[in-house]
Structure 1
Amino acid sequence: MKLTTGPGKVEALAEEAVVAACTLADAAGPSCWSADAVEDVAAALEVLAGALAQLDPECAEILSVVPIAAAAVVERAEQAAAGTSEAVDGRATAGTSAALRQALAAHGLTRHRVHQLGAALVTVTLDAPEAQALAVLLSRRETLPRQAQQGDDDGWGAGPAETAAAALADALRAHGTGAYARVLASGQVSAGLTPQAAQAVIAALTARPVVAARGKRRGLGPGFKGVASR
């Protein structure tokens, strides 16, 4: 990482950002927040994390959890505003994250991050092709679409992130209310679901047969037409 030593435009803007953040923190309190205000601050966190992530790949990796956490906070605020927040016994959800990781890995979905954020939300972040593949696994189809069987030999393919997020959101909703999937600034897809919905997803993945791949997996490429791009 190489940093400049003299003041510049970025330094002045960064100072303005921290002053604004301090002003907001002084004005905020547990009873002061609205769902819109939470969404705005979460968006600011994601933008600032994205800016710092440009420093180098290691910083980008360190900051990769920020968009996921911000999305989870927004989801909790939306649930609270709608009166649908759920209190879940922590003992009942202790193994959910580990079980979900194992279920994903059993189907060859290994490039993912799973987090349990409090007792009411589990998030899973995947590359777009794997998010699309998970959507197919969770759908009721017994076979993959024809386009998915004709992918190239380079891996899973590279379908649009928006298409993958839309397909995954539709598939997750069949397993529980309040589930979502959205595209992060990084281009990855982050999905959120309640622990109950996560358990339903785990059960669905466990029930699906695992087909041993010969050589490299064939991908869900640009020809996948499960859900149209938004």
Structure 2
Amino acid sequence: MKLTPDQQASGLESLADRAVVAACALADAAGPENWSASAVEDAAAALEVLAGALAHLDPECAEILSVVPVAAAAVLERVEHARTGDRPQDDGQGAVGTSTALRQALTGHGITRHRVHQLGAALVTVTLDPADAQALAALLVQRNGIPDQARHAEEGWGDGPAETAAAALAEALAAHGPSAYARVLASGQVSAGLTPGAARSVVAALGSRPSAGPRTGRRRGLGPGYKGLHTG
């Protein structure tokens, strides 16, 4: 990592200082009863954008911060479920041992370039190269019995290899839990987030024989990840 001397970064420093002031004002005003759905959405978007900006420092920083957009999306998911009153309940086992089992299951199928993170008891994330994400999606398709997804790629599903792999993985993971999702990070890698229960379902599927029966899953949309929010 190579940093610019402070005197040459006055413009950026001014913007960062204003961001801190705004964040402090928000924290002072925030309380359990003060949040609205739109306020949570804006705050989560700010977290994701700031993490994305810091992720450009170097690949290592991008990896460290890779959990932020996934965690922000999980918070939004939780808020939405709370708003509609249909928040799913975990089975009580938490995430203890789940991340280790997922690592072992991936390694057992030759997917060794992965990073699994356990964020408390509510979220497990896995970061993969696009090729490995596509390979995992294909494995889950075989186990889940989901119809062949090759047609999606032919229709231009995604803007590139990473986007297509994320879309395929998101659809394959949807069969294991409605809160599972996948997105592309600015590093070009694919990061997926799922509940501990969904992660255990994935582990079980990877250890089972391929299924021949059809099964459908709900496709989740892709978030902007570290590529920023495009407006205009």
- TM-score interval w.r.t. the shorter chain? 0.7 to 0.9
Residue in 1 that maps onto 2:24: 22
Partner of 2:69: 67
Query: Following the alignment from structure 1 to structure 2, what is the Cα–Cα distance between the partners of residues 163 and 66?
Result: 22
Q: Distance in 2 between the 1:162 and 1:39 partners?
A: 23
Q: Find the aligned partners of 2:133 and 2:208 in 1 and give their Cα distance.
A: 19
| Alignment correspondent of 2:11 | 9
Partner of 1:89 in structure 2? 92
Report the TM-score when normalising by structure 2.
Answer: 0.73
* SS of corresponding position for 2:43: helix
Partners of 1:80 and 1:118 lie apart in 2 by: 19
Q: 1:117 aligns with which of 98, 109, 119?
A: 119
Q: Give the 3 Å change call, closer, same or farther, for CA 36–160 of structure 1 in structure 2.
A: farther
Change (3 A) 1:65 1:195: closer
Local SS of the residue matching 1:187: coil
Deviation (angstroms), 1:107: 0.9
Q: How does 1:163-178 map to 2 (within 5 A)?
A: 163-178=164-179
Give the stretch that moved more between structures: 3-12 or 103-112.
3-12
Deviates more, 1:70-79 or 1:131-140: 70-79
Paired with 1:65 and 1:192, the residues of 2 have a C-alpha distance of: 9
Cα–Cα, structure 1 residues 81 and 160, in superposed 2: closer, same or farther, change >3 Å? farther
Structure 2 counterpart of 1:79, from 78, 81, 86: 81
CA distance change for structure 1 residues 112 and 72 in 2, over 3 Å: closer, same or farther? Answer: farther
Mean alpha-carbon deviation: is it higher for 178-187 or for 102-111? 178-187
Contact kept, 8 Å, 1:88 with 1:119, in 2: the verdict is no
* Structure 2 residue identity aligned to 1:27: A
For residue 206 of structure 2, what is the amino acid of its counterpart? L
One-letter amino acid of the counterpart of residue 44, structure 1: A
The residue aligned with 1:52 is: 54
1:34 aligned residue: 36
- CA-atom RMSD, angstroms? 3.1
Cα distance per residue 1:45-96 (max 9 Å; x no partner): 2221222233344433433333333333333333333331424424x54111
Q: What SS is found at the alignment partner of 1:139?
A: helix
Given that residues 50 and 185 in structure 1 are in contact (C-alpha distance below 8 angstroms), is that contact kept between their aligned partners in structure 2?
A: yes
- In 1: Cα distance, 2:198 partner to 2:29 partner: 36
Q: Sort the Cα spacing of 1:199 and 1:21 in 2 relative to 1 into closer, same or farther, 3 A.
A: same
Verify the 8 A CA contact 2:95 2:124 in the aligned structure 1: no
Count of residue pairs brought into register by the alignment: 200
Q: 1:71 to 1:200 in 2, by over 3 A?
A: same
- Paired residues of 2:122 and 2:196 also in contact (CA < 8 A): yes
- Call closer, same or farther: CA 1:81–1:165 in 2, change over 3 Å: farther
> Counterparts of 1:25 and 1:194 in 2: how far apart (Å)?
28
Contact kept in structure 1, 2:174 and 2:181, CA below 8 Å: yes
Q: Which runs of 5+ in 1 are unaligned?
A: 148-158, 210-226
List per-residue Cα deviations over 1:22-63 (Å, max 9, x = no partner): 111111112222333223222222221222233344433433
The equivalent of 2:207 in structure 1 is 206
Question: Retained in 2: the 8 A contact 1:169–1:179?
Answer: yes
* Structure 1 Cα separation of the partners of residues 116 and 209 of structure 2: 20
Amino acid in structure 2 at the alignment position of 1:81: R
2:169 aligned counterpart, secondary structure: helix
Q: CA deviation at 1:98?
A: 0.5
Distance 1:184 1:80 in 2: 27
The one-letter amino acid paired with 1:196 is G
